[in-house]
Amino acid sequence: MFLVVIPAFNKAETIKRSIQSVLDQSILCDILVINDGSTDRTVEELNSILHKRVIVVHQENQGVSYSRNEGIRYAVENKYDQIAFLDADDYWLDNHLEQIAELIHLYPEADVYANNYQLKVGISKWDANKYSHIKQQKPNLLVPFFKFNYLNSILSSSSICMKVDQTDILFYNEKITHTEDTDFLIRVGIHKKVAFHPKPAVVIDQTSSNRSHEVALENRVITNFSIYEDQYTEVIGLKKYLDINRFSIAISYRLANDIKNANIYQHKIDLRNLSMKQKQLLKMNNRQLKSLKKTQEILGNLGFRLRTGH
């Protein structure tokens, strides 16, 4: 039996769409919505949903990682077989759980399952994801895991499903306010086996309001990638994956003109793990990066994305 966990903080505009996309699945599941101290009309929207498979829990604002962990604890306590996650901004196509069930059948030895996802970048514009080293458009067990994540992350917080292991289950790091999904993905890649279906069945809605990237950089708590350094020699591709993420954070700090913090991340990077374009971006000043970012935003609105990895 599947449990679907949907954390929600001020998602009045999209929460019903997310829930309905789960109810529309061909495979039955229970839905646990965790209202994380919303101050808009989210509660009113949730109260209007009367369905026996929808369970709503209200709590003071604790953050998305705490909310997901509450869902994991609920799944363990109530002996669910699988737990799937969906952000309240996003929604599933009606074949999502069907494809997850296919993966479970094909790869019973896996611990984590995920479908491909697409990005909604405009009112009627979607952008397909591209991944490193995935050539065949069929379900696969991703070994070694990290080499498939150099261009874009295989796992998304709205596409992931994992076995409810009563003795060895992963939780989110509640101290991290941003990049918590990246931190979770790192630990999945180190400790778990991942099966992936390349057919998109999830929509990440980047047009919705109140997404986490809108929070100022100085108010974020970001993953400390250094804690995973002792795994470099044992886990293929981990060092390169971490360096690509360090690059992204360094660029974000440079855009904020915070050169001190940018250098903290940048100095940890083995430049051999970056593409030529990424190396060039690290040499740009704040003004050049802002100009390029504006160009990227314009292209994004037109349905294009600038890719700098490989």
The residue whose two tokens read 């809108």 is 214
Verify cis geometry, omega within 30 degrees of 0, for the bond prior to 108: no
For residues 97 and 84, the answer to whether their CB atoms sit within 8 Å is yes
C-alpha distance from residue 239 to each of 10, 168, 225 (Å): 36, 25, 10
pLDDT for the residue numbered 123: 73
0.85 exceeded by pTM: yes
Could you read off the pLDDT of 30-63 as tens digits, one per residue? 999 999 999 999 999 999 998 999 999 999 999 9
Low-confidence ranges of the chain (pLDDT < 50): 298-310
How is residue 77 written in tokens? Answer: 């306590």
pLDDT, tens digit (0-9, with 9 covering 90-100), for 226-275: 999 899 999 999 999 999 999 988 888 888 889 998 999 999 999 999 98
Neighbours of 306 (CB within 10 A): 12
Omega of the bond leading into 198 within 30 degrees of 0 (cis) = no
The pLDDT of residue 178 is 83
| CA pair distance 27, 35, nearest whole angstrom | 24
Residue 273, Ramachandran bin (φ over 0: left; ψ between -120 and 50: alpha; else beta): alpha
- Measured CA to CA, the distance from residue 296 to residue 275 in angstroms comes to 18
Where in the chain is CATH 3.90.550.10? 2-213
Please give the DSSP secondary-structure letter assigned to residue 206.
T
Write the burial class of residue 253 (CB in 10 Å: 0-12 exposed, 13-18 middle, 19+ buried).
Answer: buried
CATH number of 2-213: 3.90.550.10
The residues with which 196 forms a beta bridge, in sequence order, are 114, 140
β-partners of residue 58 are 35
Provide the 3-class DSSP secondary structure of residue 205.
Answer: strand
Distance of CA 134 to the CA centre of its chain: 19
Q: What is the pLDDT of residue 306?
A: 42
pLDDT attached to residue 113: 98
Determine what percent of the chain falls in helix, strand and coil, rounding each to the nearest 5.
Answer: 40, 20, 40
